[in-house]
Amino acid sequence: MDTRFPGFADPVLDAQATFRAVLEAMSRPGRVQRIAPPPEAPPGLSPAAAAVLLTLVDAATPLRLTAGPEAEAWVRFHCGCPLLRDGAAFVLDPAARLLDLDPGTDEEPERGATLILEVASLQESPGWRLTGPGIRDAHDLRVEGAPAGFVAEWSASRARFPRGVDVILCAGARIAALPRSVAIEDG
């Protein structure tokens, strides 16, 4: 389970900086944040996704990962998290469907999974129109490379609120987030 790819250059401060980017993204859905400095990621992971994993995932959080053997070895070494398919707290698998992931319960909605979704690009320009908590009026977010049918599935997932799945979108060193509370219109 050894890996030749490093983790954060400064594990404490880089994790803090990445967390603040994720927090900002989650607090202001559709606003694009940059991970700085991005870690050197193993094949199969964007620098943003790698940084998010290093920041949030550890032995206490099972991860569902399909990003190839090098990414798996890297994650095992640097995060020490159990890798499994069902009931994972964090999911990084392009085949994962929102409605199949653990949405938590009405009493414990915080148990709902976090989906880390690799996309081709993220831009604060017309594409999706986001409304909801964290957004003053509406935010435009242009996402290239989201799974087909994502917006329709999102609406179905959101109808379960407070149960649901939260999404962190990653493209290169950029991230944006979709907390379960946000509404997406394909515009």
Partner 1 sequence: MTAPESGYNFAYLDESTKRMIRRAILKGVAIPGHQVPFGSREMPLPYGWGTGGIQVTASILGPADVLKVIDQGADDTTNAVSIRAFFRRVAGVATTERTAEATVIQTRHRIPERPLTENQILVYQVPMPEPLFRLEARVAETRRMHALADYGLMHVRLYEDVARHGRIATSYNYPVMVNGRYLMSPSPIPAFDNPKMHRMPALQLFGAGREKRIYAVPPWTEVRSLDFDDHPFRPIRAPQSCALCGSQESYLDEVLTDDRGGRIFVCSDTDWCAERQAAREAAE
Contact positions vs partner 1 (CB under 8 A) = 11-13, 15-17, 19-20, 22-23, 26-28, 55-61, 105-107, 109-110, 112, 114, 133-136, 161-162, 164, 166, 179-181
Neighbours of 21 (CB within 10 A): 23
DSSP state of 81: P
CB nearer to partner 1: give 70 or 181.
Answer: 181
The nearest distance, CB 56 to partner 1, in angstroms, is 6
Q: In terms of CB distance, is 50 or 57 closer to partner 1?
A: 57
**Minimum CB separation from partner 1 for residue 136, in Å?**
5
Q: What are the φ and ψ backbone dihedral angles of 134, each rounded to 5 degrees?
A: 95, -10
Nearest to partner 1 of 27, 121 (CB atom): 27
Report the alpha-carbon distance of residue 71 to residue 128 in Å, rounded.
30
Q: Which is nearer to partner 1, 38 or 112 (CB)?
A: 112
Total number of residues shown for the chain: 187
Enumerate residues 6+ apart whose C-beta is below 8 A from 19: 55, 56
Two tokens at 65? Answer: 């990962």
